[in-house]
Amino acid sequence: MRGNGLTRLLKVIAPGFIASVSEVDACAIIYLVFVGYSFKYEFLWVLAFSTLLYVFILQLTSEVTLVTGKGIAQCIRERYGRRFITLTIFTTISSNMALLSIELLGAGLSLTVLTGLPLRVTVLIAMLILLGLVVSGAMDEVDNVLMGLGLTLLAYVLVAVCSKPPIEQVATGILKPRIEISWNYLSVVIAIMGTLISPYGIFYQSSNLAGKKLPITTLTLSFDGILLGALVNFLVCTAIVMTGAAINTLEVVEGVLIVFRSMVGEGASLVFALGLFSGSILTGTVILYSTLALISEVYEAKLLTHSPYRRLEALMIIVLSVIAGGIPALVDLNYVRIAFIAGLLSTAFTVFPLIGLARLYSDDGVMGEFKASTIMKVCTWTIISFFILLNLALLTLSVPYTPLLGHVTIPIEGLLSFVVVAVAAYIAGRRDVVGRLVKAKRKHLKHNFNSGFAGV
C-alpha cells in the first residue's frame, strides 16, 4: 500500500467505520426521535444491545472477508450454491429498496426544512443529488466522502448534552432492560434493531475490504475501525432519543427544531438539516454500492470496474434502484410510518445474510488456519439464533395482530446477559486468537523477506 501512514490507516479502518456509522441514517433519526417522544428512555437498552450485536456482525464479516480475500456473497455462492444465495439476494435487495425510500424521504425532508419547498419536490431533488454523486465517480473515493459526512452527525450529540437530560433515567434505560410479549412492544424493539442492523452494511464492508485486497495482517485494525464507528453510532443514536424525549409535539421535525433552536439559536434548521441530509446521502450511497457489489459477486458481472460497458450496466441498476426507492417516498409522505416499516423489513431480511455469514465462519474449510474454536462457533450460533427468534416471535404475534400471551412483562436480563456474554466472548476471544495469528504471519513474512534479501 502506497501513501503516507494516515492514508494507509484510513484505507483499512474506513470500511468498518462507514458500515457502522451509515446506520445513523434517516430511518434511525426519524424513528428514534419518535421513540424518544413516545417512550422517553425506555428503549435505550435496545440501542446498546443492537450496537453490540452489529459490532459482532461486522467483525465476523471482516474476518471471513480478509481470510478468504473474497466478498461474502461470492463465498456463499461458491460454497453453498445458488439456491441459498438467491434467497439472500432477494431479501437484501428488498431491504435495500425499503431503506432507500426513507433515505430519499429524509434527504428531501432536510431540503424542505432549509428551502421551504414542498416535500415531493425536494424528494425528486434528493433523487437527482444521489444519482449525481454516485454516477459522477464519487464512488471511486467514497470512503473519504462518507467518513466526512458521518462525522457531521456528532453535532446531534452536542445538542443532546446541552439539553441536560436526566442522567439517572438515561442510565436506567440503558442498563435495565425489560420486554413485553406483545406485538406493539416487540414491533418497536425489532424496528429499532432494524434502524441499526441492515444487510447492506454486511455486503458494503465485505466488498470494500475485498476490493482493496488488504492483507490478513490488517484484520485487527479493521476491528478497530468497526469499534470506533460503533461508538459514534451509539452516541449519536442515544442523543437522538434524548432529543425526542425533550420534544412536546407529535410533529417530529417541528419538535426537534424547537429543541435545536433552544440550544443553537437561529442555526437550528441548518444543524438539523445537515445531520439528516448527511445521514441520508451517506446511507443511500452505501446502499447503492452494496447492491452493485452483491450483484457483481453473485453473477460475476464485475460492475465496479472501469469498463465502459460495465459502467453502463451499473448506471442502469443505480437509476432503477433510485426510482424504485423513490416511488414509495413520493406516494406516502408519512416519514415516521415509512421509517417504522423499513426498520421491520431491515431486521427480518438480515436473517438470511446472517445465516450465510455464520455458516462461512463455522466452516473450517473456508477459514483455514484461522478456523474458529468450538466455543467461538457456539457463541456465534447462539447470537444468530437469538436474532432469528426475535423475528419469529414478532411474526407469530403479528398473525392475529393481537398479543397471544397478553401484555406479560418478563424478566429479560438473564437472556440478554447470556447473549451479551456470547458477543463479548467472541470479540475478546477472536481478537486474542487473531492477534496471535497475525503476529505469527508478520514474523513469517519478515523472515522470508530477510532470507530472500540475504540470498541476493
DSSP string, 110-121: HHHHHH---HHH
pLDDT attached to residue 389: 82
pLDDT attached to residue 404: 36
pLDDT attached to residue 176: 84
pTM of the model: 0.79
Q: Which residues of the chain have pLDDT under 50?
A: 1-2, 138-140, 308-309, 399-415, 446-456
Does a structural domain hold residue 456?
no
Q: Which residues pair with 179 in a beta bridge?
A: 410
Cβ–Cβ under 8 Å, residues 87 and 314: no
User: What backbone torsions phi and psi does residue 310 show, to the nearest 5 degrees?
Assistant: -65, -35
In the chain, the amino acid numbered 369 is: E
E strand map for 84-233:
179-180
Does a structural domain hold residue 341?
yes
Does a structural domain hold residue 52?
yes
| CATH code of the domain in which 19 resides | 1.20.1740.10
The domain of 102 spans 5-451
Does a structural domain hold residue 346?
yes
- Please write the tens of the pLDDT for every residue from 306-330: 554 456 666 777 777 888 777 877 7
Alpha carbons 266 and 256: distance in angstroms, whole number: 13
Alpha carbons 278 and 135: distance in angstroms, whole number: 18
Alpha carbons 183 and 344: distance in angstroms, whole number: 12
- The number of distinct structural domains making up the chain is 1
The cell for 214 is 488488504
Give the residue among 418, 416, 357 at the shortest CA–CA distance from 384: 357
pLDDT attached to residue 424: 63
Does a structural domain hold residue 297?
yes
Residue 194 has a CB neighbour count (10 Å cut-off) of 30
Does a structural domain hold residue 35?
yes
Q: What angle do CA 75, 7, 279 make, to 5 degrees?
A: 70
Does a structural domain hold residue 142?
yes
Does a structural domain hold residue 105?
yes
CA of 265: how far to CAs of 111, 164, 258, 404, in Å?
19, 16, 9, 49
User: What backbone torsions phi and psi does residue 265 show, to the nearest 5 degrees?
Assistant: 70, -140
Q: What angle do CA 250, 251, 253 make, to 5 degrees?
A: 130
Residue keyed to cell 456474554: 421
Give the residue among 344, 290, 282, 352 at the shortest CA–CA distance from 317: 290
Alpha carbons 295 and 297: distance in angstroms, whole number: 6
Element (H, E) at 409: strand 409-410
Between strands 179-180 and 409-410, the pairing is antiparallel
Cα pseudo-dihedral 21, 36, 42, 100, rounded to 10:
-40
Residue 168 has a CB neighbour count (10 Å cut-off) of 9
- Please write the tens of the pLDDT for every residue from 185-198: 888 888 888 888 88
